[in-house]
Amino acid sequence: MGVVVPLEESKRFATASIEPLVRLTREPMERVNELILARAGSNVELIPEIARHLIDSGGKRLRPMLTIAGAGMCGYEGDGRVKLAVSVEFMHTATLLHDDVVDESDLRRGKAAARMLWGNQASVLVGDFLLGQAFKMMVEVGSLEALEILSNAAAIIAEGEVMQLGAAKNTATTEDEYLAVIQAKTAALFSAAAEVGPVLAGRGRAERAAFRSYGTNLGLAFQLVDDALDYGGTSANLGKRVGDDFREGKITLPVVLSYRRGSDADRIFWKKVLEDGEIGDGDLEHAIQLMRTHRAIDDTVERARHFGAVARDALAPFPDSPHKAALLEAVDFCIARVS
Amino acid sequence: MGVVVPLEESKRFATASIEPLVRLTREPMERVNELILARAGSNVELIPEIARHLIDSGGKRLRPMLTIAGAGMCGYEGDGRVKLAVSVEFMHTATLLHDDVVDESDLRRGKAAARMLWGNQASVLVGDFLLGQAFKMMVEVGSLEALEILSNAAAIIAEGEVMQLGAAKNTATTEDEYLAVIQAKTAALFSAAAEVGPVLAGRGRAERAAFRSYGTNLGLAFQLVDDALDYGGTSANLGKRVGDDFREGKITLPVVLSYRRGSDADRIFWKKVLEDGEIGDGDLEHAIQLMRTHRAIDDTVERARHFGAVARDALAPFPDSPHKAALLEAVDFCIARVS
């Protein structure tokens, strides 16, 4: 039996789009893109080359958009939001560079990972360079509160990577342990990206907490939906590229649920492919089949819906505005990607 | 529109009972009850009097049952589980005594609060006495790991109380902030109560983590359902005593959601009754009406279902057994109380 979604909610998901958020943030996001190119520049030749490889590889720039929209919704339109948005994107890019080295990934968003073209050392160091540039820009903005939020996020992200290293390849990871990892690895930066908006606008504790909560829960929902998509999502057709997480032996929520709900034979399979890395022909298809049998993908999306609902309620107290509507629709859009 | 629950799940809730857990733990729970009376004894006359007032007031003893059943499910049937179960119940009782003083409550489970009969000082000190007895018993059991888990929980509970003091009467509390409070105040003890079972049985990291996660998420679901019940639950008939939390100005999830989803006028009302404590005739009815309008009670239960689902998956990997079935049914029972 599939996930039962109330009619009203399912209509909301069916029409959800990221376009309103893109439209509302277009002008400052153009400045964000210019500043990204400017600040990824360096006389050291390798740096702009590697940075652009990643920057041009077509992410949605969701994190900097959160900063821009959060500031806009709170009535701040100064330059600070552009610099902090770029800081957030650089922190994200640095994480990707370092992640690929740690995970020994060959590909990133379907293209060769930077480390495959320029090597591990260069990837680590250019990541450090981008982190350094991110901190320089935060300091230029001059908000100690924003600095505190973003530097705190940087520490948590690094902590999350180490935590994941510890939990790596452990198929017996609990859902709570997995949530703690993505809370640190993904949600902390979403949270910081969202919170610095009201901070720049000089808003008080309650508004900051609301944006922090919005970002955190959007980040959790976003990551869980990504996890589900990597196994083809809830639809039966597997048109898009699936199985990257599987091939890298990543333990994500669909695996956690399938492992826990499975038979002894299932668990031997999961250990073989993910802990021992012995992946043979048909193993990905078998993994997806097990996930369907145990409703693991459906329930991963169901968990994402829970966090999406919390994110929506976080912003609920703010007066209606185009920014608020766009940020709420972005939550539904993140979840609708999978439906 | 009401909450849409898949048919299979709704059937499970309709028949869920705590009886299997009560039946399975009957013999050791009788010893738990004897030990409670023995260890609440003292030559200082006031101590057994106050302790019994609370102990006799008819809690379900859910927390010590978790310890007994957790140990039983992992194959440990020694004396240690009885002592640790009593430690858990004493920690809980001490929290109630201290809570009533902090919250200036007149009633506890429909009876006069201990502090109304014997005063605040005696309530605080008898709480301390019970905590001391709890630690003595843990030491007698001699498991350093169990001591670490339970003493850690004691510290977290106290931290949660202080956290709540800070968040008290703040209607703008976010859902995440509220969850952090109940994570500490309620879920930490459920978690510790569940985890010491496999610890006594000498089980490894994965099994401990599974029980910890089961306890945590059951605790969260339990507390959220309690919150919903205090406003009459999801049914329209308000037969049972409702509004205790309201009269005490407690910010619980139904309030958090109603406040966030409400109009400016609604928010003025919530501040008046909960922050300023100005409760007049018909205000409770108005509060419940607002909650129904904004689906705040339904969605509180919906959030509880999410945590219940996580609790169930935590125990999923264990082989089928009467203990496992009883612990899973206890999750549904906790949620079914409200339906």
Q: How many angstroms separate the CA atoms of A178 and A167, rounded? A: 8
Radius of gyration of chain A (CA): 20
pLDDT (0 to 100) of residue B2: 46
**d(C-alpha A50, C-alpha A122), whole Å:** 8
Q: Which residue has the higher pLDDT, B99 or A75?
A: A75
Q: What confidence tier does B320 reach under pLDDT thresholds 50, 70, 90? A: very high
Residue in chain A nearest B204 by alpha carbon: A172
| Closest alpha carbon within chain A to B303 | A306
| Cβ partners under 8 Å of residue A265, min gap 6 | none
pLDDT digits (tens, 9 = 90+) for B186-241: 999 999 999 999 999 999 999 999 999 999 999 999 999 999 999 988 765 554 57
- What is d(CA A334, CA A16) in angstroms, rounded to the nearest whole number? 9
A315/B261 Cα distance (integer angstroms): 9
Tens digits of residue pLDDT in B150-160 = 999 999 999 98
Considering only CB atoms, which chain A residues are within 8 Å of B188? none
Spatial separation of the C-alpha atoms in residues A158 and A164, rounded to whole Å: 10
CB contact under 8 A, B260 and A314: yes
Q: Tell me which of A313, A318, A328 to substitute to probe the interface with B (most B C-beta atoms closer than 10 Å).
A: A313
Q: Is residue A2 a part of any domain in this protein?
A: no
Convert the pLDDT of each residue in B14-37 to its tens digit: 889 999 999 999 999 999 999 999
Chain B CB contacts of A175 below 8 Å: 213, 310, 313-314
Query: What are the chain A neighbours of B310 within 8 Å (beta carbons)?
Result: 175-176, 303
pLDDT tens digits, one per residue of B237-269 = 554 578 989 988 899 999 999 999 999 999 999
Who among A6, A175, A317 is closest to B313 (CB)?
A175
The closest alpha carbon to B192, from B99, B57, B92, belongs to B92
- Quote the minimal CA–CA distance from A304 to chain B in Å: 10
Candidates B183, B313, B318, partner chain A, best to mutate (most A CBs within 10 A) = B313
**Interface touch A317/B7, C-beta < 8 Å:** no
CA atoms of B284 and A203, how far apart (whole Å): 32
Report the share of chain B in percent with pLDDT over 70: 95
The whole-number average pLDDT for the span A212-232 is: 96
Proportion of chain A above pLDDT 70, given as a percent: 95
Residue corresponding to tokens 């430690």: B87
Bigger pLDDT: B320 or B237?
B320
- Structural domain boundaries enclosing B231: 7-330
What is residue B54's predicted lDDT score, i.e. its pLDDT? 76
Beta bridge partner(s), residue B108: B111
Question: Interface of chain B against chain A, CB under 8 Å?
Answer: 1, 3-8, 170, 172, 174-177, 206, 209-210, 212-213, 216-217, 256-257, 259-261, 267, 299, 302-303, 306, 309-310, 313-314, 316-317
Task: With cut-offs at 50, 70 and 90, classify the pLDDT of residue B4.
Answer: low
Do the Cβ atoms of A244 and A113 come closer than 8 Å?
A: no
Q: Does B55 reside within a domain? A: yes
Q: Do B175 and A213 lie within an 8 Å CB cutoff?
A: yes
Residue among B6, B213, B260 whose CB faces A176 most closely:
B213
Contacting residues of B for A7, CB less than 8 Å apart = 1
A238 confidence band (pLDDT: 50, 70, 90): low
At A289, which CATH number?
1.10.600.10
- Chain A contacts of B219, Cβ < 8 Å? none
Give A213's contacts in chain B (Cβ within 8 Å).
Answer: 174-177
Q: Which residues contact A26 (CB under 8 A, 6 or more apart)?
A: none
Render pLDDT for A157-207 as a digit per residue (tens, 0 to 9): 999 888 888 767 899 999 999 999 999 999 999 999 999 999 999 999 999
Q: Is residue B53 assigned to a domain?
A: yes
A1 located within any domain: no
Token look-up 């999502």 returns: A233
Q: What is the pLDDT of residue B56?
A: 78
- A112-145: pLDDT as tens digits: 888 888 888 888 999 999 999 999 999 999 999 9
**Across all residues in chain B, what is the average pLDDT?**
91
Residues 6+ positions from A290 with CB-CB distance below 8 Å: A258, A262, A266, A269, A296
| C-beta neighbour count of B322 within 10 angstroms | 14
CB contacts of B316 in chain A (<8 Å) are 260-261
Closest A-chain CA to B295: A313
Among the ranges given (B10-14, B95-99, B214-218, B287-291), the one the predictor scored with the smallest mean pLDDT = B10-14
Q: What residues contact residue A218 under an 8 Å CB cut-off, 6+ apart?
A: A66, A190, A194, A307, A308, A311, A330, A331, A334
Q: What are phi and psi of A107, to 5 degrees?
A: -125, 155
Q: What DSSP line would sit under A80-142, residue for residue?
A: HHHHHHHHHHHHHHHHHHHHHHHHT-SEETTEE-HHHHH-HHHHHHHHHHHHHHHHHHHHHHT
- Residue A119 phi/psi, 5° resolution? 95, 165
In terms of Cα–Cα distance, which of B217, B219, B230 is closest to B296?
B230
Burial letters for A176-213: b for 16+ Cβ neighbours within 10 Å, e otherwise? Answer: bbbbbbbbbbbbbbbbbbbbbbbbbbebeeebbbbbbb
Burial (0-12, 13-18, 19+ Cβ within 10 Å), A121:
exposed
pLDDT tens readout for residues A262-271: 999 999 999 9
In a domain, B277, yes or no: yes
User: Which residues of A are less than 8 Å from B216 in CB distance?
Assistant: 176
What's the token pair of residue B199? 């610890």
pLDDT at res. B116: 84
Q: CA-CA distances (angstroms) from residue B335 to A145, B179, B243, B304?
A: 41, 17, 19, 7
Task: Tell me whether residue B292 is in a domain.
Answer: yes
B255, B274 Cβ separation under 8 angstroms: yes
Helix (H, G, I), strand (E, B) or coil at B107: strand
Q: What pLDDT does residue A2 have?
A: 46
- Cβ contact, residue pair A314, B6, below 8 Å: no
Contacts of B45 (CB under 8 A, 6+ apart): none
Give per-residue pLDDT as tens, B98-132. 988 888 888 777 788 888 888 888 889 999 999 99
Q: Which helix (H) or strand (E) holds B112?
A: strand B111-112
C-alpha closest to that of B39 among B26, B51, B28, B53: B51
Who's near A207: CB < 8 A, 6+ residues apart? A74, A198, A318
Whether residue B1 is predicted with pLDDT greater than 50 in this model: the reply is no
- Asked whether B69 and B26 are in contact (CB, 8 A), the reply is no
Chain B CB contacts of A290 below 8 Å: none
Chain B interface, mutation test: which of A8, A173, A174, A302, most B Cβ atoms within 10 Å?
Answer: A174
Cβ of B314 within 8 Å of Cβ of A176? The answer is: yes
Option in A5, A175, A309 nearest B310 (CB): A175
- For residue B282, is it within any domain? yes
Q: How many CB atoms lie within 10 A of CB B276?
A: 10
Pick the residue from chain B with its C-alpha nearest to A205.
B172
Average pLDDT in the A299-322 region? 97
> Which of B176, B263, B268 should one mutate to test binding to chain A, selecting the residue with the greatest count of A CBs within 10 A?
B176
* Cα angle B336-B183-B293, degrees, rounded to a multiple of 5: 50
Residue B183 has pLDDT above 60, yes or no: yes
Angstroms from B243 CA to nearest CA on chain A:
23
CB contact under 8 A, A176 and B7: no
Please name the member of B170, B306, B313 whose beta carbon is closest to the beta carbon of A306.
B306
Say what the pLDDT of residue A1 is: 39
A6 vs B1: CB contact, 8 Å cut-off? yes
* Helices and strands, counts by H and E, chain A: 18, 2
Nearest CB to A261; choose among B4, B212, B313 = B313
| Termini Cα distance of chain B | 15
Instruction: Kindly determine whether residue A299 and residue B317, on different chains, have CB atoms separated by under 8 Å.
Output: no
Residue B335 lies in a domain: no
State how far the Cα of A25 lies from the Cα of A69, in Å rounded to an integer: 6
Give the distance from residue B323's alpha carbon to the nearest chain A alpha carbon, in angstroms. 17
Total domains in chain B come to: 1
Q: Which of A175, A178, A211, A301 to mutate to test the interface with B (most CBs of B within 10 A)?
A: A175
- Distance CA(B72)–CA(B64), nearest Å, equals 12
pLDDT classification of A50: cutoffs 50, 70, 90: confident
Mean pLDDT of B3-24: 81
* pLDDT value for A4: 55
Give the Cα separation of B146 and B324 in Å (integer): 21
Say whether A175 and B4 touch across the interface (CB within 8 A). no
Q: Which value does ipTM take for this structure? A: 0.85
d(C-alpha A277, C-alpha B13), whole Å: 40
Contact in structure between A260 and B317 (CB atoms under 8 Å): yes
